[in-house]
Structure 1
C-alpha cells in the first residue's frame, strides 16, 4: 500500500509540474485524503545572441530595439551611441554621433562649421570674374550611413539645416591703372585707364569702379545631401573615413556692393551674373575624419 501511495504522489507531482499548474494535488488512500501542493519549477531560457563585432562593418551592437522598444530602452540607447567622429571638410570643422541599427545601417547627427574657405582654397570664378571667399558656416545635419556590402564602402544621405555666411570679393583683371572687371562683355576699370588700355565707351565700358564684393545667401532652409565614402577600421575601436558628395542649397541671393563713381552701374549686372550661376546652388561635400567606436 505504501508503494502504491508513493507512486501516486510522484506521478501527481510530475504531472502538475509539467503543466506548470498551481492547483493542489489530492491523493486518496483508503479513507484518508492527503493534499499536496505542486511546487513551481523554474525554467531557464537562453536569449539569442546579439550581433557580434564585425571588423569590416565596424558596428559593435544591434540597437534596433531602441527604435521599436519602450522609452527606457530608447533613452539608454541615445545616451550610449555606437560611435563618435571628428571631421574636417567643405562643410567646416565638426563632429558627429552615430547609433547603429544593424551591421549595415547607422543614424548620424552632427554639426560642421567655421571658416570652411580655409580648407578648399577660398575662391571661385563666375563669368570671368574671380572671387576670393570668406565664410562663417554653421551646418547641423541628420542622416543615415549605409554599408550596402557590409564592408568599408559607405553611402550616406540626409538633411542639412544651413546657416552660412559667405562673402565674395572680386579680383580685378590686370594690375595698376588698367585693372578692370569683365562684366557682361564690358570692362569696368578700377580707375581711369592709362595709355594702351582696351577702353571702348561705345560698348558701355566704364571707369572709376572701385572694390566689388557680394554677400551670398542660399535660399534653402533644408538642404538634402548625398555622399559616398569609405570607413576602414584601424583597430577594434579606432577607424578613419573619407566622403565625397554634394548638398543642394537652392538658388543664391546676392547682395552686391561696388564702390567708386560708377560702381552702382556694375552692381545690378554682377548681381544677375552671380544669381544665375547654377554651380553656386550646390555645396560640394569633401570631408575626412577619425572615428572612435564603443
Structure 2
C-alpha cells in the first residue's frame, strides 16, 4: 500500500510541476518533507526594462570568470562614425558589462566626404577597421550608461585634391594644376591604441530586445601623411595662375609642401563617436 501511495504522490507532483511551473511542497506524514523548487531566471528586469540582477554573474554569483566570458550576456549590432559593426557583452553584475566589438567600412561621407587643408580641398575615401574592447557602466542601475575602453585602429584614409579654378594654393603660392598634376595622398594616425569614452542610454524594449545610443570621442593622435603628384603635363617647370614660371618649383616640391600642410591639419585627430544600435540579451 505504501508503494502505491508513494507512486500516486510522485505522479501528482510531476503533473503539478509541469502544469503550473511553480514551487511545490509535498509532505507525507510517514516520511521526511521533500521540497521542490524551480530555478530562478538568469536575469530579471525592472519596469523600465533595465537589468535588475544577474544570478549567474561573477560578482556575488556562482559562475566562474571562464564561464562568464564563454557565455555572453548580449549581442548588439551598431552603426555610427566608427563604421558598421557588432559587439558582444559580458555582464559581471547589474551595473558592469564588458564589451568586445568591431566596427568599420567606408564612413567618409559621415565626415562630409571632403575637407580643406589650408587652401587645398581633398576628397576622402576611407576603409575603417576599428576593433575595440571596453566596459559599460550603469552607475545609477538604470538605462543611463558610461563607457570607456581602447580602440585598435587600422583605418585606411586616401585623399585626392580638387583644384580651385585650375590652380592649387599651397604655402601661400598658387600653382597651375595642369602642370602639377593631381595630388594624391594617404593619412595614417600615429596612435596604435586609441582611448575612448562615451555617454549613452540602453533601455530594453522587451525582456530580450533593447536599443542603445552613444556619443563620445576617441583620441587617434596626430597624423602622418604621404602626398605625390600624378599626371602633370609639365612636372619640372611649374607656372602660376598668370602663366609665370615659379622659380625652383616642381611637381615634387609642390607635393612636399602639400604633404606638410596635410599633416598640420591632423584630420580627425579626435574621432567623434556617435552610434546607435539594437541589442539581444540571452
Same fold (TM over 0.5): yes
Q: Contact 1:170–1:211 (CA<8 Å) still a contact in 2?
A: yes
Report the TM-score, using the length of structure 2 for normalisation. 0.73
Q: Which one of 83, 86, 102 corresponds to residue 77 of structure 2?
A: 86
Measured in 2, the distance between the counterparts of 1:161 and 1:67 equals: 29
* 1:103–1:256 Cα change, 3 Å: same
Measured in 2, the distance between the counterparts of 1:211 and 1:187 equals: 14
Deviation at 1:150, TM superposition (A): 2.6
* 1:141–1:282 Cα change, 3 Å: same
Measured in 2, the distance between the counterparts of 1:183 and 1:102 equals: 56
Residue 215 of structure 2 corresponds to 244
Deviation at 1:121, TM superposition (A): 3.4
Gaps in structure 1 of 5+ consecutive residues:
1-40, 192-207
Q: Which one of 285, 288, 293 corresponds to residue 276 of structure 2?
A: 288
Deviation at 1:129, TM superposition (A): 2.2
- Give 3-state SS (helix, strand or coil) of 2:252's partner: helix
* 1:42–1:184 Cα change, 3 Å: farther
Residue 158 of structure 1 corresponds to 149
Gaps in structure 2 of 5+ consecutive residues:
1-31, 236-249
Deviation at 1:112, TM superposition (A): 0.7
Q: Which one of 162, 169, 185 corresponds to residue 182 of structure 1?
A: 169
Report the TM-score, using the length of structure 1 for normalisation. 0.70
Residue 265 of structure 1 corresponds to 253
Measured in 1, the distance between the counterparts of 2:34 and 2:221 equals: 62
Question: Considering only aligned residues, what root-mean-square deviation do their CA atoms show, in Å?
Answer: 2.9
Q: Count how many residue pairs are aligned between Structure 1 and Structure 2.
A: 232
Residue 29 of structure 2 corresponds to none
Where do 1:134-173 residues align within 5 Å?
134-173=125-164
- Give 3-state SS (helix, strand or coil) of 1:280's partner: coil
Rg (Cα) greater in structure: 1
Q: Which one of 58, 64, 80 corresponds to residue 66 of structure 1?
A: 58
Measured in 2, the distance between the counterparts of 1:211 and 1:49 equals: 63
Say whether residues 1:54 and 2:46 are aligned partners. yes
